[in-house]
A and B are shown apart, each in its own frame.
Chain A
C-alpha cells in the first residue's frame, strides 16, 4: 500500500459512475434485444464497481472492501451473463425471437 497524489477529486469518479449508470438504465429501458439489455446491465454493474473502487481508494482502503466487492461483482457478472445467455438461447429456441417485448405471456 502506498499513497499517490493525482489531484483528481473523488467526485469526478463518482460523476463518471453516475453517467455510466444512467446510460445503462437507458439501455435497459429502451433496448428490445435481450442480449443488448444484458450489455446495458454490464454498464450499470461497471458503474457500481467504479464507485466501490473509488471509495476504497479514497476513503477506506484498510480492509480492501471495495476491491473485494468489485471482484465479486465481476464474478457475479460472469455467472449472470452465462445464465442469462442460457435463458436467452432457450427463449430464442422456443419462440424464435430474443426480443423481450415479444415475450409477454405473463400478462393479465
Chain B
C-alpha cells in the first residue's frame, strides 16, 4: 500500500454508501458494520500510507514533492481533458490522519449515540459518503475533483444537518447551511474556471507553477484569488458566511463533531493552505485573509460568551478556531495553521462528542437546564474538561501548543497579535462557563438529571481516546517528537516542506497567554461559581451589548430580511412580469388581436350574393390587371 494507491481510500466508504443505500433495509443491523468496517479499513490503510510517506521522506528528504496518480475522466479531443487524480504530500497526510481517525471515532461513537434512530441505516450511509468525499477532497490533485468532493461534502452536511427532518428548525438549518456555502462555491467554481482559462489545466500543482511563472494576468489572478477565498470562507464559516455553522448544530451531535468541527469546515483552511503560494502572489491577498480571520475570531468570541445552547457555544468556539487558522495563514504561517487544524480536530471532536453524551443522557442541550453532571457522568466530565481547557488554551494541552505557534507567528504583526490576545480570555471564559454550567453546581432540571448516566462503551471509548490525543498530540510541535515518530525533520518540516519551519517556543508569549487564559478561567469561576449573582447584575448593566451578542450582531436577521424582502420580492416581480407582461400581453395579446381582427372582418360577410359576386369579379379584374402590368 503505497501513496500512489491512496485512491483506494475514498472508494472504500463510497462502496459502503452504495451498499447501504441499495441494501440497507435488508442488512442485519441496517448495515452499520459495513460503514464502520469501511472507515476502519480506511484508518488502517492511512497508517500504511503514512508509513510509506515516512519511508519516502527518509529516502528523498527535502526533494520529496508528493506522489501523484490520475486517470482520464472525460475528454473533448484537442480542447479539454478532465482527469481525476490524487496527490499525496505532507498536507494530505495530515488531513488523511485527521479524517480517518476522527471519522472512525465518530462512527464508533454513533453506534451508541444513534441507536434506535428511525433512519439509522441512512445515517450511516450518508456519513460514509461524507467520509469518502472528504477523503477525495484532501487527496485531489486537481480542482475538478476538489470541487466535485467539495460539493459532495456540502450535500452530505445538508443531509446530516437535516437528519431530524421532522423538525422544521433542522430542515431550515440544513437549507441555510447549504445555500450559504453554495454562495461561496459560486466563487470557487468561477475561480477554478478562470484559472483553467488562463492555464489550460485543472491540476493544482501546475496552476500554482504557472502562476509563479507569471503566466496569469494580474487582474485575473486577483479575481481568482478573491473568488477562491469566497469558497473557502463559505465552507470554513468565516465572516460574513459564518451564520450557517451555529444553526448546523441541529444535526445529530456526532455529525457536528465530524463535519462541523474536525473535517468539513477545515476544508476551507485546507484549500487556502494549498493555494497559499497563489494568494501571496496577489497584492493584499494575505492581508485580506488576515482581516477576515481577525474579524471572525473577534465576533465569534463575543457571541460565544452569551450562548446558552451547549452545542452552539462549541460551534462558536469552532468558528473562533477557524478564524485563528485563517489568521495564521494570513501571516504566512501555514505550518502553524496546520498544527492548529490537526490538534483542533481532536479536542473539538472530543468536545462535541462529550456534549453529545450529555445530550444523549439528559435530552437537554440548554446549559440553563443542565448542571451537576460531574458525579453522574465522570468519564464524560473529565474528557469534556480536558477538551474545554485545551480549547481555552491551558498549558501543555494540545490547544496550548497550537495556539502558541500561531501567536509566535503573529509577533511581527502587533495589531493582530493584540487582537488575538484580547480574545484569549473571552474564549477561556465561555469554555469554562459551559463546563461549569454543565457539570458543576446544582442540577437545574432534576428530572433529566435523575436519568442521566454514562453511555455505552461505544461512546466512552472514543471519548477517552480523543482525550488522550488531546493531552499528547500538541507535543508533535517539537522536532524531537517528530523525529521519534519517524519523521526526519519535525512537524514543521512535515507540514510544509518548501517552507521548512522549526518550532520555537517563545517563553514570554507562552507565559503571557497562559496568564490571560487563567484570567478568563478565573473570571468564569468567579462569575458562575463563586458569585452566581454577578452574571445577572452585569447583564442588567450591559443589556445592549448582551442583546447585540445574543442576536448574533443581527446578521442572521439582516440576511433573512434580504432574502425575504429583496430576493423573494424580485422573484415575485419577475414571476408577475412573466405572467402578465410576457404571457398575457406578449403571447395572449397577439391572440386577442387576431380575434379582434376577425371580429372586425366578419362584417364583410354581408350574406348578400351580389356582394360576393362583385368581390369575385373585382378579384378577377385585379388579377388580370396585374398580369397585364407584368406583361408590359
B610 contacts A108, C-beta separation under 8 Å? no
B607 contacts A107, C-beta separation under 8 Å? yes
| Shortest Cβ distance from residue A108 to the other chain B in the assembled complex, whole angstroms | 4
A104 contacts B608, C-beta separation under 8 Å? yes
B613 contacts A28, C-beta separation under 8 Å? yes
Residues in A neighbouring B605, C-beta threshold 8 A: 106-108
B614 contacts A29, C-beta separation under 8 Å? yes
B624 within 8 A of partner (CB): no
A30 contacts B610, C-beta separation under 8 Å? yes
A101 contacts B613, C-beta separation under 8 Å? no
Residues in A neighbouring B610, C-beta threshold 8 A: 28-30, 32, 100-101
B614 contacts A101, C-beta separation under 8 Å? no
B625 within 8 A of partner (CB): no
A105 within 8 A of partner (CB): yes
Identity of the chain A residue whose Cβ is nearest the Cβ of B618 in the assembled complex: A29
B602 within 8 A of partner (CB): yes
B617 contacts A108, C-beta separation under 8 Å? no
Residues in B neighbouring A100, C-beta threshold 8 A: 608-610
B73 within 8 A of partner (CB): no
**Chain A positions 79 through 107: 1 when the CB is less than 8 Å from some CB of chain B, otherwise 0:** 00000000000000000000011011111
| Shortest Cβ distance from residue A26 to the other chain B in the assembled complex, whole angstroms | 10
A25 contacts B617, C-beta separation under 8 Å? yes
B603 within 8 A of partner (CB): yes
Interchain CA distance A108-B609 in the complex, whole Å = 14
| Shortest Cβ distance from residue B140 to the other chain A in the assembled complex, whole angstroms | 75
| Shortest Cβ distance from residue B596 to the other chain A in the assembled complex, whole angstroms | 14
Of the candidates A29, A105, A107, A108, the one whose C-beta lies within 8 Å of that of B613 is: A29
| Shortest Cβ distance from residue B612 to the other chain A in the assembled complex, whole angstroms | 10
Residues in B neighbouring A106, C-beta threshold 8 A: 605, 607
**Chain B positions 604 through 629: 1 when the CB is less than 8 Å from some CB of chain A, otherwise 0:** 01111110011001000000000000
A105 contacts B607, C-beta separation under 8 Å? yes
Residues in A neighbouring B613, C-beta threshold 8 A: 28-29
**Chain B positions 236 through 252: 1 when the CB is less than 8 Å from some CB of chain A, otherwise 0:** 00000000000000000
Q: How many positions in chain A have a CB within 8 Å of any CB in the partner chain?
A: 14
Of the candidates B603, B609, B617, the one whose C-beta lies within 8 Å of that of A101 is: B609
Interchain CA distance A32-B613 in the complex, whole Å = 12
Interchain CA distance A32-B609 in the complex, whole Å = 10
Interchain CA distance A37-B617 in the complex, whole Å = 15
Interchain CA distance A32-B610 in the complex, whole Å = 8
Residues in B neighbouring A37, C-beta threshold 8 A: 609
Identity of the chain A residue whose Cβ is nearest the Cβ of B621 in the assembled complex: A25
Residues of B591-609 contacting chain A, CB below 8 A: 602-603, 605-609
Interchain CA distance A104-B603 in the complex, whole Å = 13
Interchain CA distance A106-B602 in the complex, whole Å = 11
| Shortest Cβ distance from residue B141 to the other chain A in the assembled complex, whole angstroms | 78
A108 contacts B603, C-beta separation under 8 Å? yes
Interchain CA distance A37-B609 in the complex, whole Å = 11
Residues in A neighbouring B609, C-beta threshold 8 A: 37, 100-101, 103
Residues in A neighbouring B607, C-beta threshold 8 A: 103-108
Residues of A26-58 contacting chain B, CB below 8 A: 28-30, 32, 37
B602 contacts A108, C-beta separation under 8 Å? yes
| Shortest Cβ distance from residue B166 to the other chain A in the assembled complex, whole angstroms | 65
| Shortest Cβ distance from residue B617 to the other chain A in the assembled complex, whole angstroms | 6
Interchain CA distance A48-B376 in the complex, whole Å = 121
Residues in A neighbouring B614, C-beta threshold 8 A: 29
Interchain CA distance A100-B613 in the complex, whole Å = 12
Interchain CA distance A11-B605 in the complex, whole Å = 40
Residues in B neighbouring A28, C-beta threshold 8 A: 610, 613
| Shortest Cβ distance from residue B173 to the other chain A in the assembled complex, whole angstroms | 66
| Shortest Cβ distance from residue B193 to the other chain A in the assembled complex, whole angstroms | 63
| Shortest Cβ distance from residue A85 to the other chain B in the assembled complex, whole angstroms | 16
Identity of the chain A residue whose Cβ is nearest the Cβ of B614 in the assembled complex: A29
Interchain CA distance A107-B612 in the complex, whole Å = 11
Identity of the chain A residue whose Cβ is nearest the Cβ of B617 in the assembled complex: A25
A107 contacts B606, C-beta separation under 8 Å? yes
Residues in B neighbouring A30, C-beta threshold 8 A: 610
Interchain CA distance A25-B607 in the complex, whole Å = 19
| Shortest Cβ distance from residue A67 to the other chain B in the assembled complex, whole angstroms | 27
Interchain CA distance A106-B607 in the complex, whole Å = 5
Residues in B neighbouring A107, C-beta threshold 8 A: 605-608
Interchain CA distance A106-B605 in the complex, whole Å = 8
| Shortest Cβ distance from residue A106 to the other chain B in the assembled complex, whole angstroms | 5
| Shortest Cβ distance from residue A42 to the other chain B in the assembled complex, whole angstroms | 15
Identity of the chain B residue whose Cβ is nearest the Cβ of A34 in the assembled complex: B609
Interchain CA distance A32-B611 in the complex, whole Å = 11
| Shortest Cβ distance from residue A69 to the other chain B in the assembled complex, whole angstroms | 21
Residues in A neighbouring B602, C-beta threshold 8 A: 108
Identity of the chain B residue whose Cβ is nearest the Cβ of A26 in the assembled complex: B617
Residues of A55-84 contacting chain B, CB below 8 A: none
Identity of the chain B residue whose Cβ is nearest the Cβ of A28 in the assembled complex: B613
Residues in B neighbouring A105, C-beta threshold 8 A: 607
**Chain B positions 442 through 455: 1 when the CB is less than 8 Å from some CB of chain A, otherwise 0:** 00000000000000
Residues in A neighbouring B603, C-beta threshold 8 A: 108
Residues in B neighbouring A104, C-beta threshold 8 A: 606-608
Interchain CA distance A104-B604 in the complex, whole Å = 12
| Shortest Cβ distance from residue B623 to the other chain A in the assembled complex, whole angstroms | 15
Residues of B427-474 contacting chain A, CB below 8 A: none
| Shortest Cβ distance from residue A19 to the other chain B in the assembled complex, whole angstroms | 16
Residues in A neighbouring B617, C-beta threshold 8 A: 25, 29
Supply 7 A–B pairs (Cβ within 8 Å), ascending by A.
A29-B610, A29-B613, A30-B610, A100-B609, A101-B608, A106-B607, A108-B607
- A interface list, Cβ under 8 A from B: 25, 28-30, 32, 37, 100-101, 103-108
- B interface list, Cβ under 8 A from A: 602-603, 605-610, 613-614, 617
17 other A-B residue contacts (CB within 8 Å) besides A28-B613, A100-B609, A104-B607: A25-B617, A29-B610, A29-B617, A100-B608, A100-B610, A101-B608, A101-B609, A103-B607, A104-B606, A104-B608, A105-B607, A106-B605, A107-B605, A107-B607, A107-B608, A108-B602, A108-B603
Q: 5 closest Cβ contacts across the A-B interface?
A: A107-B607, A104-B607, A108-B602, A100-B609, A101-B608
